[in-house]
Amino acid sequence: MNSNSLVSITDISKEEILYLLEQARYFEEHPNHKVLDGKVAATLFFEPSTRTRLSFETAVNRLGGRVIGFSDASTTSSSKGETLKDTIKMVSNYVDIIIMRHYLEGAARYATEVTDTPIINAGDGANQHPSQTMLDLYSIYKTQGSLENLTITMVGDLKYGRTVHSLLMAMRYFNPTFRFVACEELQMPKEYTEFCDKNGIKYSKHTDFSADVINTSDIIYMTRVQRERFTDIMEYERVKDLYTLRNSMLDDSRDNLRILHPLPRVNEIAYDVDDNPKAYYFQQAQNGLYARQAIICKALGIDIKKMEE
């Protein structure tokens, strides 16, 4: 296994998180930095994506590298029965880094076991999405001026939403208070509330997305109900529209409140929120470019600031 792989946000220390945030800030100021000359990255997406794949590919391009890969596994030999192991071993022969999204939890970890090429987990089932977490942390840091002592309200599909799982774990270093707003069926899984208990993280569970919860939040992190993870489509239909944030609900919210969403949204944020200065989800997606430039460079052992000294 290549120790520069990023599979789970729990693989990296507080110092490494702060280092990546500092590098992301550098790339925001200098997005075109040709440090990947001669390097090739593979983006292997076994599940659909817009932001993650395109921002990773933009990151490589802006850093002067090249990209190969696929966004639809049905066009590859996996449709003929080729295993993930063989696919990873083959692609490792061609590239310097593999960025992969897979529908199976643990797929990225498994990939690290069959190759020495660094693996970046771009989402594995309902498990983890660590690069999303880095852009979320960068967005929180930019909008709040700190990651410390914040009240973060997570809303929607907390069961299947891998972005909230990764963010919750990353925040363990920064003394957060979490509110988990979800129906009983989609509440935060026990393994994550146990993680909070073990790490002394404060949290409360709510089924009501109340004014009190909204008006005492620094961050509201909305999530989409993940239709693709449901085995019973009737259950999805029953829970898909339970929580929608509307502009009028923000009238008495804190000045520093920002609304985050990993996107894509379906109908959990009404369009009238988009023009509210507290809506930050499109800037959040833009921050993904800088965070992913930082992640790629770290995985390849490239420290921009040291190179400039």
* Nearest distance in Å: CB 151, ligand CP: 23
Whether 101 is a known active-site residue: answer: yes
Q: Which of 39, 53, 102, 129 is catalytic?
A: 129
Q: Which of 43, 52, 87, 193 is catalytic?
A: 52
Nearest to 128 by CA among 102, 94, 90, 154: 102
* Nearest distance in Å: CB 50, ligand CP: 4
**Binding positions for ligand CP, rule: CB under 6 A:** 49-52, 123, 132, 262-264
CA 234 to chain centroid? 28
Nearer to ligand CP, 21 or 260 (CB): 260
Nearer to ligand CP, 132 or 287 (CB): 132
Whether 52 is a known active-site residue: answer: yes
Nearer to ligand CP, 155 or 196 (CB): 155
Which residues lie below 8 Å from residue 224, measured CB to CB, with a gap of 6+?
156, 157, 161, 261, 262, 264, 265, 266, 268
Q: Which of 34, 75, 80, 231 is catalytic?
A: 80
**Can you tell me which residue has the tokens 């979320």?**
136
CA distances from 17 to 10, 133, 189, 239 (A): 10, 10, 24, 35
* Nearest distance in Å: CB 37, ligand CP: 27
Q: Report the 10 Å Cβ neighbour count for 299.
A: 22
* Nearest distance in Å: CB 130, ligand CP: 11
**Can you tell me which residue has the tokens 């949290």?**
203
Whether 159 is a known active-site residue: answer: no
Whether 51 is a known active-site residue: answer: yes
Whether 85 is a known active-site residue: answer: no
CA distances from 128 to 103, 159, 166, 239 (A): 11, 12, 5, 22
H-only helix segments in the chain: 14-29, 51-62, 84-92, 107-114, 130-144, 162-170, 190-198, 211-215, 233-239, 281-299, 304-308
Nearer to ligand CP, 221 or 243 (CB): 221
* Nearest distance in Å: CB 286, ligand CP: 12
- SS3 label, residue 117: coil
Q: Which of 39, 53, 101, 261 is catalytic?
A: 101
Nearer to ligand CP, 4 or 49 (CB): 49
Q: Which of 39, 51, 53, 62 is catalytic?
A: 51
Q: Which residues are known catalytic residues?
A: 51-52, 80, 101, 129
